[in-house]
């Protein structure tokens, strides 16, 4: 009883022997399991397995609590050990020392002989100090948290597991990206852009043109010698139509001095200014530059009967494409 109530090495030795016995039993059990003949077996469900683990953890904690209660009752019945009784009358510790003693269970220098191990390693001897209570409770806290996580995630399903949480986060990220792209209109590119004809879009494109393009192409898109080509005729250096004009404005033509505007204008703004430029076709402004590039014709639906093509009007003089001079400007 006195050993049970005290804090000597009896408990340490007993725990060490118990641990060794448990390890031996585990090894023997593992070997026996390995010798079992293989055969069709029915695996226990995951929920039942986790319930069994939870029950075992609860029983382990209950056993520890019962052992601690037994020690407390024994100490109360037997009385304090002799070393604790002899310590009565010793100078009182300060509050800081008591706090450190409670957190670390450190042993004073005068009592180190009580926790000194018998092993001698070339004159070096070790102290059998107890683990600090703060560390033990932190360790117990991780066990409790593990049980809570196990029950909520794998038993009751209250919390999502890692795979489900990852899928939810990825779905939310895709939704956020889609909303951001829709807000900025970044889904419009040279492959999906369409010609805008409403007055609001044309007005927006006109404002962008006047703020950025007049210096090279003129206020009426008539073009400037040595700088920008005429944007009002049907001739284009890099192709006409909304897709080609949008692409040229977006990526620029660096070899001719035209910068790419994708870093300064958003996709809807590029679409608006390209639509405005195409709305100027056939306006024939004063002082317009000569045509440059190739005559652009929008692709239309193919004729169903090639034999019904109307003859060309001989009175109309065809355009002389051989007299087109090379452009010195940026883009058309």
Report the C-alpha gap between 6 and 80 in whole angstroms: 7
Residue 53 placed within a domain: yes
Using one digit for the tens of pLDDT, what is the confidence trace for 8-63?
555 556 656 666 665 555 555 544 444 545 554 444 566 788 888 889 999 999 99
Structure tokens at 162: 């890692």
Confidence of residue 125 (pLDDT cuts 50, 70, 90): confident
Q: Indicate if 145 and 200 belong to the same structural domain.
A: no
In a domain, 145, yes or no: yes
For 8, 49, 191, 219, 231, the CA distances from 238, given in Å and listed in that order, are 94, 70, 16, 21, 12
Could you tell me how far CA 219 lies from the centroid of its own chain?
48
**147 in the same domain as 216:** no
Partners of 124 in the β-ladder: 121
**125 falls within a domain:** yes
| Phi, psi (rounded to 5 degrees) for 99 | -65, -45
Instruction: Give me the domain span that covers residue 22.
Output: 2-30+45-84+93-155
141 and 14 in a common domain: yes
Q: Report the pLDDT averaged over residues 51-79.
A: 87
One domain for residues 101 and 6? yes
Mean pLDDT, residues 183-203: 84
* Closest residue by Cα to residue 231 from 194, 280, 185, 268: 280
Give the pLDDT confidence score for residue 249 in this predicted structure.
93
Report, as an integer, the average pLDDT of 171-186. Answer: 81
CB-count burial class (<10 Å; 0-12, 13-18, 19+) for 17: exposed
Same domain, yes or no, for 18 and 147?
A: yes
Q: What is the CATH number of the domain that holds 274?
A: 1.10.760.10
- Residue 81's pLDDT band, with cuts at 50, 70 and 90, is low
Q: Are residues 16 and 149 in the same domain?
A: yes
Residue 291 counted as domain residue? yes
Query: Average pLDDT of 82-109?
Result: 66
Instruction: Mark which of 155, 174, 205 sits at the end of a domain.
Output: 155
Given 130, 155, 180, the domain boundary residue is: 155
pLDDT score of 66 more than 70: yes
What is the mean pLDDT of the segment spanning 228-233?
Answer: 89
Inter-residue contact 246 to 193 (CB < 8 Å) = yes
Query: What mean pLDDT, rounded, does the chain reach?
Result: 76
Residue 104 — very low, low, confident or very high, per pLDDT cuts 50/70/90?
confident
Alpha helices in 105-226 (DSSP H): 133-150, 162-184, 199-212, 214-217
User: HSE-up of 213 (CA within 13 Å, CB side)?
Assistant: 30
Domain count, the chain: 2
Let me know whether 207 and 150 are in one domain.
no
Is the pLDDT score of 301 beyond 50? no
Q: Quick one: 196 and 143 in the same domain? A: no
Residue 35 inside a domain? The answer is no
Give 128-149 pLDDT, tens digit per residue: 777 888 888 999 999 999 999 9
Residues 165-181, mean pLDDT to the nearest whole number: 90
The answer to the question of residue 171 being in a domain is no
Tokens for 190? Answer: 């040279």
Write down the pLDDT at residue 101: 72
How high is the pLDDT of residue 311?
A: 42
The pLDDT score that the predictor gives to residue 298 is: 77
For the four alpha carbons of 259, 264, 268 and 273, in that order, the dihedral sign comes to: negative
**What tokens were used for 105?**
């269970």
In a domain, 177, yes or no: no
- Mark whether 219 and 135 lie in a shared domain: no
Same domain, 107 and 222: no
249-268 mean pLDDT: 89
Q: What are residue 116's DSSP bridge partners?
A: 127
**Residue 70 or residue 86, greater confidence:** 70
Q: CA dist 222 to 270, 291, 322, Å?
A: 20, 10, 22
d(CA 149, CA 158): 10
Q: Which residues contact 260 (CB under 8 A, 6 or more apart)?
A: 250, 251, 252, 254
Contact 292, 237 (CB under 8 A): yes
What is the Cα–Cα distance from 331 to 257, expressed in whole angstroms?
A: 9
Looking at residue 300, what is its pLDDT? 56
Spatial distance between the Cα atoms of 4 and 283, rounded to a whole number of angstroms: 107
Query: Does residue 174 form part of some domain?
Result: no
Asked whether residue 216 falls in the same domain as residue 290, the answer is: yes
Q: What pLDDT is recorded for position 256?
A: 83
Calpha distance 283→291 (Å, rounded): 14
- For residues 203 and 149, membership in a common domain is answered with no
């Amino acid at each position: 009883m006195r050993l049970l109530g005290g804090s000597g090495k009896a408990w340490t030795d007993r725990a060490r022997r118990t641990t060794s016995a448990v390890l031996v039993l585990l090894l023997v059990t593992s070997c026996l399991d390995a010798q079992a003949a293989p055969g069709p077996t029915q695996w226990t469900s995951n929920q039942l397995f986790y319930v069994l683990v939870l029950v075992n953890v609860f029983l382990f904690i209950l056993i520890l609590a019962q052992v601690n209660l037994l020690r407390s009752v024994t100490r109360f019945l037997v009385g304090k050990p002799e070393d604790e009784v002899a310590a009565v009358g010793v100078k009182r510790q300060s509050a800081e020392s008591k706090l450190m003693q409670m957190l670390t269970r450190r042993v004073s220098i005068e009592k180190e002989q009580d926790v000194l191990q018998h092993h001698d390693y070339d004159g070096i001897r070790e102290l059998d100090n107890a683990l600090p209570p703060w560390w033990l409770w932190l360790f117990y806290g991780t066990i409790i948290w593990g049980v809570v996580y196990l029950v909520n995630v794998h038993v009751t399903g209250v919390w999502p597991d890692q795979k489900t949480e990852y899928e939810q986060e990825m779905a939310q990220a895709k939704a956020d990206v889609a909303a951001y792209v829709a807000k900025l209109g970044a889904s419009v590119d040279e492959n999906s852009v369409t010609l805008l004809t409403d007055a609001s879009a044309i007005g927006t494109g006109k404002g962008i043109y006047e703020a950025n393009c007049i210096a090279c192409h003129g206020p009426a898109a008539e073009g400037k010698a040595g700088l920008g080509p005429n944007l009002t005729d049907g001739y284009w250096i890099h192709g006409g139509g909304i897709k080609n004009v949008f692409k040229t404005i977006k990526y620029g033509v660096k070899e001719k001095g035209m910068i790419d505007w994708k870093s300064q204008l958003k996709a809807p703004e590029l679409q608006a200014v390209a639509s405005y430029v195409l709305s100027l076709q056939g306006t024939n402004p004063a002082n317009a530059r000569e045509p440059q590039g190739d005559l652009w014709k929008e692709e239309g639906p193919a004729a169903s009967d090639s034999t019904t093509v109307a003859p060309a009007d001989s009175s109309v003089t065809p355009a002389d494409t051989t007299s087109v001079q090379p452009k010195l400007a940026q883009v058309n």
